[in-house]
Every structure is written in structure tokens, then in C-alpha cells.
Amino acid sequence: MTSDNVPAPGATEILAAAGRIAPYINHTPVFTSTRLNRLLGGEIYFKCENFQKVGAFKARGAMNAILSLSPEDLACGVATHSSGNHAQALSWAASLKKTKAYIVMPSNSSKVKAEAVKGYRGIITYCEPTLEARESTLADVRARTGAVEVHPYNNLNIIAGQATATLELLEEIKDIDIIMAPVGGGGLLSGTALAVHHFHPHAIVIAAEPAQADDAYQSFKQKAFVPSIHPDTIADGLRTSLGSLTFPIILNHVSEIVTVSEAGIVRAMRYLWERLKIMAEPSSAVPLAAIMEGKLNVTGKRIGIIISGGNADIDHLPWTSHA
């Protein structure tokens, strides 16, 4: 479980996770665009986790975490605080395993995400939109129910589950030079980096982050944890801080973190919708935005990008003005 004394899922754990979750998740397709490749001068392979169960890669980690718990641990249910896709994913996975998911959600969460959680039979407790309120409310819920916490990203089973998206991509597309993922709490990024490290070490991993929520970029540059204080980005999945487990893995196995503008995120998201017909949520568009903004050289390269999810609020699209 360790590499350079950092706790991290090894090749065995990632392969075990892949086998464990296979009956429940979608093997998502990889899309390409001739036009985009011509425009950018490289070959981009989009691993479309927007077509994953619950519309995001989070189904992988949540299902792996739930399947890794003992029947005793599962008996009283699972709990988490999440405003987004992890909440849906945990509710979905818990429901499939006939247990309860208690979701602590900030009161300003988007309606579509709350409805989706309810659709998967998650039991929502709303709280103030601060980290303190989320954590104290979660502690209350756990004390009341006996539920086991499944953190959205700072959990080795979650990280191993997220790694399986890249594992599938590497099995399908050979000779990839660069794998890109967005970074928020770092669950997807650390899993991606570990999958590359274990199964295709010739590639490098480059993360992309909104400049207006650049705590991972700052942490990476300073090699010291910088929290996400006032994230102000449309990419709502990327507003969280790195975790004590994800940050060291990222430091060890990620080559670079680049940042992108909000306008660049919207432009890339629009391109994915309009041209590739991929319903990508804003967070998913961040790696493509980095390429479109020239933050890395892709000429002649084969680049895999994890399209992390498709849970955009279609009533409030960023390119549509609302009166």
C-alpha cells in the first residue's frame, strides 16, 4: 500500500477495485474529434465519465468504498458531506447494497443535484455552506445514526476506485503521452496519477485547475498544503481543498498543475457540447480549457482526458443570459 512511504493504493488494489466494481459501473466510451485534433495538432482521447452511473466518475470510488466495507460497517449506513456528485454516487452505491446514505449538503447546493440525491434515495441533511458547519453536521448525523463516513476523496478505497477510469482508458488507447484530469480535492487526480504510475509509467500526468480556485496549484508549487479559501469558479466540483492522502500522491506522481481562466472553462465546455455533443459539466472542461489556452504543448502528442462528469444544471447554462 505504500510508495515512498506515502499511503497509496498499489497496482493490486487498483486492479481489485476494477474487478469489484465492474458489475455495477459502466465501461464508458472514449470519444475523439477529428476537427478538434486538427485544430490542436495533437490527438485527444476523451474518457467519457459523464456517461458513468450517476453521471460522474464518482460512482467508481463510491462503489469501491461501499464494497470494501464489512457487513457490520454497512449495517448502519454510510455518511458524507458533499454538495455534488459524490453525494449522488454514495447514495446510488448504498441503495444498490441495500443500506442508507446520509448526505450533509450545504443549503446553497443546486436543486438539480439535491433532486438527484433524493432520486437515489439519499437522506439529505442541509447545513450552512461552511466547512465547519458541514463537518459538525456530519458528526451529528453519524452520532445519531451510527453511519460510517465515506469521505469524497480522502479515502484510499475512493482513490483506488477513481483510478479505474484511467486503467480502462490505458487498456483501450495505447501509447498515450499525457493524461489530464481536473483537480479539486484530488481524488480523481491521485487515482489517475497512480494508474499511470503503475500501468503506463511512460506517460506523464498534468492536472488542470481553475485559476480562481488554484489551491492545488499553489500547494503543488510550494510543496506545502494551501487550503482553498475563497474559490470563485463555475467549476463547482473543483472548489474543495486537497486531502492529507491525495496531496502526497499528487506531489509524488503528477508532473505539473496548470491553471485556466473562467472564460476558458466556459469556452471549452461549450466546445464539448456543441461540437462533440458531450454533455460535460464545467469541471470536466478544465483540462481541455488548459490545452485551448496553450498551457501545455500537445503538438504530435496523444493526450487522454478524463471527462469527469456531466451533471450540469441545464436550466442555468453559463453561456445563456437569464433575466
* Contact footprint for a second copy (CB under 8 A): 29, 31, 35, 50-51, 55, 112, 119, 270, 273-274, 277-279, 310, 314-315, 317, 319-320, 322-323
CB of 207 to a second copy, least distance (A): 23
Question: Residue type for 56, please?
Answer: A
Minimum CB distance to a second copy smaller for 48 or for 195: 48
CB of 315 to a second copy, least distance (A): 6
Nearest to 29 by CA among 54, 43, 47, 52: 47
Q: Are 103 and 85 in contact (CB under 8 A)?
A: no
CB of 309 to a second copy, least distance (A): 9
Backbone angles phi, psi at 103, to 5 degrees: -115, 120
CB of 29 to a second copy, least distance (A): 5
CB of 172 to a second copy, least distance (A): 13
How, if at all, do strands 43-48 and 30-31 pair?
antiparallel
Backbone angles phi, psi at 24, to 5 degrees: -110, -30
Cα dihedral sign, 309-313-314-318: negative
Minimum CB distance to a second copy smaller for 40 or for 254: 40
Let me know how long the chain is: 323
Q: Is 28 exposed, middle or buried (0-12, 13-18, 19+ CB in 10 A)?
A: buried
Minimum CB distance to a second copy smaller for 66 or for 272: 272
Minimum CB distance to a second copy smaller for 84 or for 248: 84
> Count of CB atoms within 10 A of residue 294's CB?
11
Nearest to 162 by CA among 277, 85, 233, 102: 85
CB of 51 to a second copy, least distance (A): 6
Minimum CB distance to a second copy smaller for 159 or for 169: 169
Minimum CB distance to a second copy smaller for 282 or for 310: 310
Q: Which residue(s) pair with 48 in the sheet?
A: 307
Q: Are 77 and 101 in contact (CB under 8 A)?
A: yes
Residues 6+ apart with CB under 8 A from 140: none
Minimum CB distance to a second copy smaller for 53 or for 86: 53
CB of 60 to a second copy, least distance (A): 16
